[in-house]
């Protein structure tokens, strides 16, 4: 099963990478964009043998311990079903 | 309106960052994960005044020209509706 972890900077945290992308887009003529935030998309392939709870707990613990820096980032777990 | 652009390395492209995260997870005891791929999640805030087509065309052009490197990456556009 494929599980995606979306990692975003918390709203209160400045995003200089997003600001740089925003400026670059404006320089290319894309004026109709108000804001840009850059985050991470981490996709895990986990075995299907396991209850949804065990999988969720494992992915949440992995996100908290390693994937996201919870001081400055929020994460969201999304289940993408069968492997593509 | 919030629009997310999910950027992933193409399947045929090696992902050393994903491999490193995979190893780190294994070292932390997360053995039940088969594969990890790391991508980008770019969220754009665009004004609501515009047809869905003009917004889609703008975001697709921005993705192709700047956000994604289409030689090695695929992108997917997702509409998240109202701004949070």
- Cα separations (Å) of A1 from A21, A44, B23, B28, B66? 33, 8, 19, 21, 31
Q: How many domains does chain B contain in total?
A: 1
- pLDDT value for A81: 76
What CATH number does residue B33 fall under?
3.30.1280.10
Q: pTM of whole model > 0.90?
A: yes
Nearest residue in chain A measured CA to CA from B29:
A62
Angstroms from B67 CA to nearest CA on chain A: 8
Minimal Cβ distance to B39: which of A21, A35, A41: A41
ipTM of the complex: 0.91
- pLDDT digits over B24-35, tens only? 999 999 998 999
CA gap A14, B14 in Å, rounded? 31
Q: Considering only CB atoms, which chain A residues are within 8 Å of B62?
A: 25, 28, 30, 33
Domain range spanning residue A70? 2-81
Q: Residue length, chain A?
A: 84
């Amino acid at each position: 099963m494929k599980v995606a972890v979306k990692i975003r900077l918390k709203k209160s945290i400045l995003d200089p990478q997003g600001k740089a992308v925003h400026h670059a887009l404006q320089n290319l003529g894309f004026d109709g964009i108000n804001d840009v935030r850059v985050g991470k998309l981490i996709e895990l392939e986990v075995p299907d043998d396991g209850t949804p709870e065990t999988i969720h707990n494992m992915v949440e613990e992995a996100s908290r311990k390693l994937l996201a820096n919870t001081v400055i980032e929020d994460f969201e777990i999304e289940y993408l079903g069968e492997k593509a």
